[in-house]
Structure 1
């Protein structure tokens, strides 16, 4: 077993325990010690577990899984990648290890269709292990550039922030590259870019910082929907090798080289351009491409690649063009009128895009960074916990540049920014954003810290609170509240994905907890503690104190906080995204989830409590599911 296979295996087993896959925790039995007749089968050189999980409901074999206690999102995690397997007597117990054997054990006794998902996931795990090895090689080869870029970051930041347009864009791409070397905190095989072989990874993945030319399709204008005029950087027909007069009847759609190669016979009305045009470099999302010669422009294109689960194929649903722009406009209005958070965030320009009917393979979105953003250093949250060549976290280097090395000041500012913006959006405007580590971008400048927002096409919105906020804003400005409500009501009708509209606070709370608190804050806290930048107790205490301070401030402004206080500060367990279950191991029919990225269990120990619930020798809460499905297919 390679080091990468062992690493991926550990992540998979831990996640299965965390998500109660196959009811491991809710039906398993926790033991203080291994039965004496089995102990001799446990390898002497292996770890010494704190407890054992006995699982007897998976087929005809009993598993004895070694455990160690943890306080981070689960009470117990695996102590290594091995376990004991006890077949029915008289067969002897044996030691087993590795993700292939693990997933085969879990699939025992499943229906053929359910077992197929587990077998398919073994292939994803193989891909993750292979891609991890390749990306580690990429990191080693890129180390001189990364080390040199540390100096560039310090030299290019002055009294007003990043001094030149080329600097801000180079630093943004560097941050994305650094983030790409770090695994997703919670999805165990996020390293896998399913659909990429080794050659494609080197050619098109951000870990390798490649540059390549964008391909183009000429699409019949009668079949196309464009949301606005194309950007000035768009090629002409002749620049992509087509007859100039074709511009009278067709328009150009960008297409990723890998997607183009897989399209086969094109639908009627679409012509493949013979020449590529515009040099691009992949960002962290892989399918969003930065234009090298036009630093303020990124283009999001469909890509036949799956990440974070086999169901997450990175195409573009046409409705997201409109819903994403809807939230861009709504958030921009809030920034223009809200005195508390108006200066704390800005949204990129996502007004332009195009699509061919409802085809997810023929669509694109243009993302433009205005000049105001080009005078700052932009860093995705995903990069903060990345390890730099000197062994320190990237966030420590940011603290050096902007906080004179005071990481505590950096941390306090970071907490304040995220909590102030997202609590207010939730409790005043009824809005929760899926601003995950990739989409949440920090804007650093000497004069302060703010957020750059993008890609908000899958937010959640509580209509009545949003309408009421529009009325209050109008009345405060001596406007007509009834008219403002009618206008806001008309705006809501423009949302195409009606899953965005929710009926109560719970959906907003779930997103705030699983995205802002767990992904954007807790994952960073754990990385800081692992590097000795504060203890876990201190860092989580600061989080609790700042969250309470923000809630108190909202209370003082007349904004109701009782629901949030109870949800965040009183419950023993918080929601947790069951990404592995919904993304790979459960069918949509079995999970009942209308959105695989919003499938929750109420099983994460609440790190906001003054005293965390302990890892007692009991299975803990049964991992209920908040998306209408059963916790597991295993019986």
Structure 2
């Protein structure tokens, strides 16, 4: 579906306002450009040039002075995680001497800050100009996502394939550039993004086996199992045509964008030396999931194929460095050992199998260089018992954070409907409470073992058995964070992650504060609060009502669950007694980034007032 010129203009305006809200909310949260320290609530009746701004009963007018003559003003509401969030998605630049108000677009805001607030920030001009490019791309591609949203079916099922698509519309919550896929034009966005859900045909190369690193128990036969008989024949014929044998070379699937834009330049020497041999064949049957790098198999739905794409998203290139796979294997083994030790965890936790992976092995066998991460793949295997049962539905928690769909079209409403419940405020809150309690039961049990998977909504998949919450399926095991002191009390050994010794790491923690911070930020603020935000927007229920469910279900679970009392006491102190919580900062690190990011989103830890107090 392509929009008319008039529809296009309306959609672009809506996309711009959506990005503007994400931008201003992030400025307020991180106090960028002194939005919080210099900003203040002002009386709307104070100045005559405010007269055309109307406020609802729960709204206030917020002013950020830029200099003695100019200020930004916009409407805000009180919020759970930060004092204020933007409400009407309009920013005005006030010129006080002339009493004129000018409506601002996102790029106008940034450029005004560059011109008028240079004393408020440490960012070089070139970093801000790059940021402007990402914001511009985010607006354009948000408009494309809105176009795709119009083609979503009115009715759908809670299958993993469809709810992956639903989850992709929000992308990483509360990140202004999350929708920007730097390197894709509009045509490529429509071809390869999960929002459009179009079939993707894989390209292939043959890679010499002497230059391959693989998982300890990686099974190459699994790759061929994903192909139809006719595709296997064509791939074998392509080997023959290229004059290479399968005994000396292995078939490597390549994302079509990666082959067209990255491979021929980055691997020119290897291609010239016949270490890497492009094959004149393509196979189909894949579709993008919410993580972009992971493609779902349309026929064999137990399998996803994870491939690198050299675009920039969330401030980092979407690589697959070998250390990710190595640490993923170690993380999976660690989670499996915890399942064996604890019956309740074993009952509630399921794991994707991520041991089948292969990457290019470069000279020197450097696990930290970017190049091997551009030629790699993983076959993710979903548990057979979940895939084969017609009673089981799988859906990522991130699907509930979708803030494009409303009312009965939202996946939360569909879940309620499948459970035979009416779409009422009370039923929405009760089901959300049920979700929180189950999520906290698993999370706190894992925490007590000194284990913290990355529990944001994309990694955590709900398992519904006849639409009753059965448990959680985890994927992407490469960032299972650990607290060795608590692990030792449970008889767990150090997984010996591959990490750089000369830079800070986020996998191994020596204090409960830094360890638990990743649950407070990713598990609660990014995952659960994004669902709160979406449900509040969709159903007009105050977010503080949902947050009360989060708080009450957490304290109830913490009190009732069987974990060591010492751990319980520490968790209670950090979550309820401390004056502040950690928070993920995304814009400041983005504006200070260097290099490719090694495949990881730039971020750092700041503080917010304790939202449980």
Does residue 397 of structure 1 match 2:393? no
Aligned-residue Cα RMSD (Å) equals 3.0
* CA distance 1:141–1:526, change in 2 (3 Å): closer
Question: Which of 296, 301, 306 is the matching residue for 1:290?
Answer: 296
Q: TM-score by structure 1 length?
A: 0.80
* CA distance 1:86–1:440, change in 2 (3 Å): same
The answer to whether the Cα contact below 8 Å between 1:353 and 1:364 also exists between their aligned partners in 2 is yes
1:178 is aligned to 166
1: CA distance between counterparts of 2:541 and 2:459? 26
2: CA distance between counterparts of 1:138 and 1:317? 31
2: CA distance between counterparts of 1:497 and 1:364? 23
Q: CA deviation at 1:556?
A: 6.5
- 1:130-185 alpha-carbon deviations (Å, 9 max, x no partner): 11222222221233xx51x24xx5xxxxxxxxxxxxxxxxx111001111233543
1:23 is aligned to 34
Does residue 551 of structure 1 match 2:551? no
The answer to whether the Cα contact below 8 Å between 1:582 and 1:588 also exists between their aligned partners in 2 is no
The answer to whether the Cα contact below 8 Å between 2:171 and 2:290 also exists between their aligned partners in 1 is no
1: CA distance between counterparts of 2:16 and 2:396? 28
Instruction: Tell me the secondary structure at the aligned position of residue 344 of structure 2.
Output: coil
Segments of 5+ residues of structure 1 without an aligned counterpart are 154-170, 471-484, 610-635
1:239 is aligned to 235
Does residue 516 of structure 1 match 2:523? yes
Instruction: Tell me the secondary structure at the aligned position of residue 489 of structure 2.
Output: helix
2:606 is aligned to 601
2: CA distance between counterparts of 1:105 and 1:546? 44
The answer to whether the Cα contact below 8 Å between 2:44 and 2:50 also exists between their aligned partners in 1 is no
Q: CA deviation at 1:414?
A: 0.9
Q: CA deviation at 1:538?
A: 3.7
* CA distance 1:572–1:173, change in 2 (3 Å): same
Question: Which of 131, 135, 148 is the matching residue for 2:141?
Answer: 131
* 1:312-327 pair list within 5 angstroms: 312-327=316-331
Does residue 223 of structure 1 match 2:211? yes
Question: Which of 459, 465, 469 is the matching residue for 2:480?
Answer: 459
1: CA distance between counterparts of 2:298 and 2:41? 58
The answer to whether the Cα contact below 8 Å between 2:66 and 2:113 also exists between their aligned partners in 1 is no
Instruction: Tell me the secondary structure at the aligned position of residue 395 of structure 2.
Output: strand
* CA distance 1:233–1:278, change in 2 (3 Å): farther
2: CA distance between counterparts of 1:430 and 1:73? 26
2: CA distance between counterparts of 1:130 and 1:442? 32
* 1:72-111 pair list within 5 angstroms: 72-78=80-86, 80-86=89-95, 95-108=102-115, 109=118
Higher relative contact order (CA 8 A, sep 6+): 1
* CA distance 1:413–1:302, change in 2 (3 Å): same
Does residue 574 of structure 1 match 2:581? yes
The answer to whether the Cα contact below 8 Å between 2:123 and 2:592 also exists between their aligned partners in 1 is no
1:117 is aligned to 127
- 1:266-325 alpha-carbon deviations (Å, 9 max, x no partner): 3321111110124211111112111223221111111022222xx321111110001111
1:493 is aligned to 496
2: CA distance between counterparts of 1:581 and 1:403? 46
2: CA distance between counterparts of 1:556 and 1:173? 36
Query: Higher mean Cα deviation, 180-189 or 15-24?
Result: 180-189
Query: Higher mean Cα deviation, 236-245 or 358-367?
Result: 236-245
Question: Which of 490, 504, 508 is the matching residue for 1:469?
Answer: 490
* 1:258-273 pair list within 5 angstroms: 258-263=257-262, 264-265=264-265, 266-268=268-270, 269-273=275-279
The answer to whether the Cα contact below 8 Å between 2:206 and 2:250 also exists between their aligned partners in 1 is yes
Q: TM-score by structure 2 length?
A: 0.83
Segments of 5+ residues of structure 2 without an aligned counterpart are 1-11, 362-368
Instruction: Tell me the secondary structure at the aligned position of residue 313 of structure 1.
Output: strand
* 1:252-263 pair list within 5 angstroms: 252-263=251-262
Query: Higher mean Cα deviation, 555-564 or 114-123?
Result: 555-564
1:479 is aligned to none
2:179 is aligned to 191
2:308 is aligned to 302
1:378 is aligned to 394
2: CA distance between counterparts of 1:419 and 1:541? 14
- 1:52-110 alpha-carbon deviations (Å, 9 max, x no partner): 334346xx8642433423123211234543233448xx787653511112111222337
- 1:479-515 alpha-carbon deviations (Å, 9 max, x no partner): xxxxxx6xx24xx325446621111112222111111
Query: Higher mean Cα deviation, 228-237 or 516-525?
Result: 228-237
The answer to whether the Cα contact below 8 Å between 2:201 and 2:282 also exists between their aligned partners in 1 is yes
